[in-house]
Each structure stands twice: as C-alpha cells, then as structure tokens.
C-alpha cells in the first residue's frame, strides 16, 4: 500500500505535501517523492528510505513562492525494489507529464511491451510507469489532459489511484480512483487530494470521498468530478471533523503506546453506542441483526492477520453462546479454495482498514456466491464497505501504528456483543446469564485500565528477553487466538521469531525446540476446563528448562517455582477473557521492541494495510 497526495492553491505547496506524506507514512515508507509545478516547469524530487531523506532534499532547494501545485508519493514497494528509479512520481519522456500511483496495474506488462514498440522509453521496473506513458500517448493525440486520462484508464486493469499533472495545463491536477482509496479535501487556501484522511487533517475543512471509476479535475478554487465515461457526478461534501489530536502522539513515545492506552475508553464508547441499557436489546447502528441472520444456517468469517485472530475469538464465542456453526478462513486462502458459501451463509469480513486486498476479494467472492455480507471495520468509507449488506463500525479512531492494538480489542468487543445478541435472539442463553455477561462487559474498561497501569512490570519483564531469538506462546480454548495474536505482535515489531501453539500440541513436535533459550508464554485462565491441562504443559516445558511467563488471573494458585515471571490480571469469565488477555501481549511486545530500539510504529517490510494480494 502506498500513500499519494496532491495540492493546488495558494499555500506553501512543498511543506503541505511533505506534511501530508508524513501523516501517510503508516501506508509505506521505503521511498518517497514530490513533483512541483515551479513557474510552469515540472521539477521532480525523490529519495530512497524514510520520508526525512526527501524532506532534507526539498529543504535544501530554492523553491520559488510561485510554486502553487504539486503531487507526492510515499511507497511500500510492490513492483520493483525501493530505488530512486522506482520511486514515484514517474515522468513522461518529454518530462511534462507526472503521475503518482497507489495500487497495482494488472495488465501493465502487455501495455508496456506495446508502448516500448511505439518508442516510449521506460526507466523503472514499476507497473506505474506504464500508466504515465499510456496517458502521455493519449495526450499527444488529443492534447487535453482530462480526455487523455479518460481514454487511458479504460485500457488499465487492476487497482489504481492516481494524481496527475501536466506542465502545459498548469491550473489543474487530475485525480483518478479505481479500487484504491482516494479523497478530496476542500480548504480555505486550496484543494487537496489524498489516499486517506490523516493527510488532510488540519488543512481541509470538508472532504469528498471519490468512488471507483471516477476522476476529479481539481483546481485551486473549483473541482469537477466525472465517471470514466466523462459524465459529471454530483457528490456531497462532508465536514472533516477529525481533530489533529487523532494523528498526534499526544506525548507518547510511539503511536502504538498511545493507541494501547486508548483501549479502555474505546470499549466504553462501544458499550455506550451498542449497549447503553442492559435491559434493551444490543444494537449495531444501521445493522439490523434480526434481518441479517434470518434464514442463516452458517456463519463464515474472513480476515487477515490480527483481524483473523479476532475472527477466531468470535468463532469460540458464537459457537459457545449462540450454537451457530462458524467457519474462519484466512482471506488469502478463501479466494483459492472450494467454499460452501451460499444464500444461507452470513459472510463476515473483518478489516480494520477496509482496504486489505485479500479480504476485499474474498468478500466479493462470498457475495457472488449468494451470501449476506456483514463488514466489521474501523473505516466506514473504505473499499470493503462497497460489497457489504451491513456494516458495524469499530469507532476506534484512526490507528496509525502498523501494529493493530486498539482495533483488535474493539473488534473482539463488537464480536462479543454480536455473539451475545445472536444467543439472545436464538434463545440459547438464559436472561440471567446474558445479564451476567453484560455486567462483565461493563466492568471491562476499569479492569483494562488496571492492567495497563502496570507499565513498569511489563518493561521489567521485557528487559529479560532482549537477547532471545525465539518465543513460543501457548494456550487452549478461546485464548488460543490470544496466543496467536501475542506471537504476531512480538514478531512484527521486534523481529523475534514468535509462534502461537495450542498448548496440547506442544508434545507433538514443538517441545523439541524447548531449552533454556526458548521462552514460553502460557495463558492460564483459572476455573476453566483447560486450566489444569495448560498447567501440565507448563510443567513439561519447565522440565525442558524453558523460561516460562504465566499470564493468569489474580486468584490463580500456581506453583511459582516453575515460572520465571507471572503476570496477574483481574478476574473475568473465560468467554470474555480475550479482550483483557490481549493487553499483556501488546505491552510485552511493545516494550521488548522499544527496548531493542526497533521502529515500533513502522516496522521493516510492513505497511498498515496490505492493498495488494
């Protein structure tokens, strides 16, 4: 996934574009570039690596105050290594037309071969450069940028969001959206184009969300939106009422720690939105759950990464409480396997960003197979929502850090409410038990705050594992997903090789790995059918000299001699425990990675949302 920006107006264009890219760095950070129309001459500036490399280049340039239009790009490399040549913007051979791109052009090879035969010279190994030369070819025929773009986009297949400028048409930027997010920001001193909201917070007053197969001709005082057939589209602008605070660290060293700390209040917000009154049915905004599950015989949940782990928790909850069969499949597997999805299936797509290509493709396939589609996402204006019959928003606020934290517990919270609501509708749980669960949910925020207040404890424990190269996370039952999530958090920000295992599976092979250099984190929820079994697995691990961290509750009686560290949490029912038990996983990963000096918010090779399959 990449980030693109454009600006045309009377402001300091280079600073505006660089600030926009800074707020999009979570989308990718292996190279960056700007193209500025400087006194009717297009100048392109690029740098490999982090954005500050480009900022340094720009700051050392004399950019005239007459420069009032520009486009920018920050890259997560898909086609072509993160080199200067492959960095965007890409420019036409006559150096008059420049373009930045987010997405993947699927038919770029065949187009590139044709264009090369027609004499166009390529300087990069990107799919994007094909688009530049194709538009330039059309421009040389019709001598009109808008028409050239409309002709060219009809020849492209795949996902593409563009910002395009031409030196001979200095008063406009053309924006194009097709299966990759793109928004327009309207400000007092100009207009903005961006991949996502954070780029325009603090500078734009209103926002317009472009839809697929639309272009926008953006001028400093005006903008026109058309579909790919050139028909004018009337779009509503919405007030941009997101505070700059939402994309500031607010004094925390990293966004990840800030976002971890926001979780109790997000759970409070979800409770007040979806369950303001115990004695009233749980509601989900515009999603009519009664209608949604009418005639449904099976639920399937499709997701990736952390969202997949939330899906696994949901499976345990829904099957245990509502007795409805649930199948959980990684989106990248769902796309290629035989699925038994039909009109009696409720397919739930879970995606924080709503832009994950695998999940969008899988959800689209489920819809084509006749399923009802429910989307659970933190971005109600994202691509995935287009394929949904119903949506449940996470209300978690913008999540900047690449590692998902607050969106995960928000997903599990929404899914807990969903499971309880299904159980009540299907009359599978007693009113008393439903009330007990709801009371426990209400107590969660305070319990979460108690857990998060133990920063020092987590930091001290983390400092014991800075030299470890591997880690095993083990659990049984509903918290197996918590173990998977804990392992993912650790590996994606610290680069330590961590794996989640069903504790009962250890003796079937992984136990061969255990020695004094293989720490094991064990999740033990007391008063459950699996507690004593996990304890036995800890004894087995101890017998192989593995250092063990226990994550358990305050009232758990443990043989303290076999554990190197014991993290004790407030008591909670097992079925609701994943939200609380996720917190030590997040904190441990955070402190190990930050003590190791890792780029916690922007880990190597990663991006916040993977918009390519």
Binding mask 299-318 for ligand AGP (x = CB under 6 A): -----xxxx-----------
Which residue among the candidates 2, 163, 304, 538 is catalytic per the annotation? Answer: 2
Q: Is 353 in the site for ligand AGP (CB under 6 A)?
A: yes
Contact 448, 472 (CB under 8 A): no
**Nearer Cβ to ligand AGP (92/375):** 375
CA distance 537 to 499: 16
Binding mask 357-376 for ligand AGP (x = CB under 6 A): --x-----------------
Burial classification of residue 22, based on how many CB atoms lie within 10 Å of its CB (0-12 exposed, 13-18 middle, 19 or more buried)? middle
Q: Considering only residues 352, 482, 537, 594, which one is a binding residue for ligand AGP as defined by CB under 6 A?
A: 352
Q: What is the dihedral of CA 126, 128, 130, 136, to 10 degrees?
A: -140
Binding mask 267-306 for ligand AGP (x = CB under 6 A): -------------------------------------xxx
Give the number of residues in contact with ligand AGP, rule: CB under 6 A.
Answer: 15
Are β-strands 497-502 and 470-475 bridged in parallel, bridged antiparallel, or unpaired? parallel
**Shortest Cβ distance from residue 492 to ligand AGP (Å)?**
6
Nearest to 13 by CA among 39, 51, 46: 39
**Shortest Cβ distance from residue 597 to ligand AGP (Å)?**
20
Peptide bond into 612 cis (omega under 30): no
CA distance 247 to 23: 7
Contact 390, 375 (CB under 8 A): yes
**Shortest Cβ distance from residue 610 to ligand AGP (Å)?**
5
Report the first-to-last Cα separation within the chain, whole angstroms: 11
Contact 134, 152 (CB under 8 A): yes
Nearest to 350 by CA among 298, 324, 313: 313
Determine the residue with CB nearest ligand AGP: 305
**Nearer Cβ to ligand AGP (359/528):** 359
Stretch 387-416 residues interacting with ligand AGP (CB under 6 A): 402-404
Report CA-CA distances (Å) from 541 to 498, 506, 534, 535: 16, 9, 10, 10
Task: For residue 189, give both structure tokens.
Answer: 């001193």
Q: Is 263 in the site for ligand AGP (CB under 6 A)?
A: no
**Shortest Cβ distance from residue 405 to ligand AGP (Å)?**
8
Q: Is 78 in the site for ligand AGP (CB under 6 A)?
A: no
- φ, ψ (nearest 5 deg) of residue 476: -135, 160
Q: Is 102 in the site for ligand AGP (CB under 6 A)?
A: no
Is 46 a known active-site residue?
no
Q: Is 586 in the site for ligand AGP (CB under 6 A)?
A: no
Q: Considering only residues 86, 191, 347, 351, which one is a binding residue for ligand AGP as defined by CB under 6 A?
A: 351
Q: Is 593 in the site for ligand AGP (CB under 6 A)?
A: no
Q: Is 492 in the site for ligand AGP (CB under 6 A)?
A: yes
Q: Is 356 in the site for ligand AGP (CB under 6 A)?
A: yes
Which part of the chain contacts ligand AGP (CB under 6 A), choosing from 132-140, 191-199, 231-239, 351-359? 351-359
Contact 183, 208 (CB under 8 A): yes
**Nearer Cβ to ligand AGP (304/326):** 304
**Nearer Cβ to ligand AGP (7/26):** 26
CA distance 491 to 305: 12
**Nearer Cβ to ligand AGP (9/330):** 330
CA distance 9 to 221: 8
Is 114 a known active-site residue?
no
Which part of the chain contacts ligand AGP (CB under 6 A), choosing from 79-87, 168-176, 269-277, 350-358? 350-358
Are β-strands 326-330 and 565-569 bridged in parallel, bridged antiparallel, or unpaired? unpaired
Are β-strands 326-330 and 298-303 bridged in parallel, bridged antiparallel, or unpaired? parallel
Nearest to 578 by CA among 449, 501, 478, 500: 478
Which residue among the candidates 137, 258, 438, 608 is catalytic per the annotation? Answer: 608
Task: For residue 478, give both structure tokens.
Answer: 């509903």
Which ranges constitute the DSSP H helices of 495-558?
A: 531-543
Stretch 13-72 residues interacting with ligand AGP (CB under 6 A): none
CB atoms under 10 Å from CB of 290, counted, come to 9
**Shortest Cβ distance from residue 308 to ligand AGP (Å)?**
7
**Nearer Cβ to ligand AGP (8/610):** 610
Which part of the chain contacts ligand AGP (CB under 6 A), choosing from 44-52, 229-237, 284-292, 347-355? 347-355
Query: What residues are annotated to the active site?
Result: 2, 608
Q: Which residues bind ligand AGP (CB under 6 A)?
A: 304-307, 351-353, 356, 359, 402-404, 492, 609-610
């Amino acid at each position: 996934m990449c980030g693109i920006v454009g600006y045309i107006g009377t402001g300091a264009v280079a600073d505006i574009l660089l600030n926009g890219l800074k707020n999009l760095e979570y989308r990718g950070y292996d190279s960056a570039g700007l193209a500025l129309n400087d006194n009717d001459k297009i100048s392109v500036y690029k740098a490999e690596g982090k954005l500050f490399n480009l900022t340094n280049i720009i700051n050392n340039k004399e950019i005239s105050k007459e420069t009032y239009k520009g486009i920018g790009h920050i890259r997560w490399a898909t086609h072509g290594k993160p080199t200067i040549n492959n960095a965007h913007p890409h420019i036409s051979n006559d150096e008059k037309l420049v373009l930045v791109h987010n997405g993947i052009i699927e038919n770029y090879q065949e187009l590139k071969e044709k264009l090369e035969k027609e004499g166009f010279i390529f300087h990069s190994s990107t799919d994007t450069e094909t688009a530049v030369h194709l538009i330039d070819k059309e421009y040389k025929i019709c001598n009109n940028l808008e028409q050239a773009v409309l002709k060219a986009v009809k020849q492209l297949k795949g996902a593409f969001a563009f910002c395009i400028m031409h030196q001979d048409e200095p008063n406009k930027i053309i924006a194009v959206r097709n299966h990759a997010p793109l928004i327009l920001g309207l400000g007092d001193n100009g207009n903005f184009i961006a991949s996502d909201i954070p780029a325009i917070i603090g500078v734009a007053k209103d926002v317009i969300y472009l839809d697929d197969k639309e272009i926008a001709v953006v001028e400093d005082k005006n903008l026109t939106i058309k579909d790919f057939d050139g028909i004018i589209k009337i779009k509503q602008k919405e007030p941009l009422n997101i505070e700059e605070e939402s994309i500031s660290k607010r004094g925390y060293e990293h966004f990840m720690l800030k976002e971890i700390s926001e979780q109790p209040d997000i759970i409070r917000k979800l409770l007040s939105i979806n369950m303001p009154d115990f004695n009233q049915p749980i509601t989900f905004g515009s999603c009519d759950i009664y209608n949604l599950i009418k005639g449904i015989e099976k639920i399937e949940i499709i997701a990736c990464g952390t969202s997949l782990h939330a899906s696994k928790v949901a499976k345990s909850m829904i099957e245990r409480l509502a007795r409805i069969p649930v199948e959980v499949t990684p989106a990248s597997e769902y796309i290629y396997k035989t699925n038994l999805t039909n009109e009696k299936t409720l397919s739930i797509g879970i995606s924080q960003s709503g832009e994950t290509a695998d999940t969008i493709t899988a959800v689209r396939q489920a819809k084509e197979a006749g399923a009802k589609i429910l989307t659970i996402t933190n971005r109600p204006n994202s691509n995935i929502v287009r394929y949904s019959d119903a949506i449940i928003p996470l209300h978690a606020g913008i999540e900047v850090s690449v590692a998902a934290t607050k969106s995960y517990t928000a997903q599990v919270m929404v899914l807990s409410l969903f499971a309880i609501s299904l159980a009540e509708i299907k009359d599978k749980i007693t009113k008393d038990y439903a009330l007990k669960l709801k009371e426990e949910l209400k107590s969660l925020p305070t319990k979460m705050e108690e857990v998060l207040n133990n920063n020092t404890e987590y930091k001290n424990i983390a400092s014991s594992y800075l030299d470890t190269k591997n880690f095993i996370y083990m659990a049984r039952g509903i918290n197996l997903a918590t173990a998977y999530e804990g392992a993912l958090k650790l590996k994606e920000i610290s680069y330590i090789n961590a794996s989640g295992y069903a504790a009962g599976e250890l003796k079937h092979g992984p136990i061969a790995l255990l020695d004094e250099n293989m720490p094991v984190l064990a999740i033990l929820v007391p008063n459950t059918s699996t507690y004593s079994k996990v304890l036995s697995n800890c004894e087995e691990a101890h017998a192989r000299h593995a250092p063990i961290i226990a994550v358990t509750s305050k009232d758990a009686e443990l043989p303290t001699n076999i554990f190197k560290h014991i993290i004790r949490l407030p008591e909670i029912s097992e079925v609701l425990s994943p939200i609380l038990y996720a917190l030590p996983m997040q904190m441990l990963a955070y402190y190990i990675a930050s003590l190791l000096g890792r780029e916690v918010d922007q880990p190597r090779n990663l991006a916040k949302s993977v918009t390519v399959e």
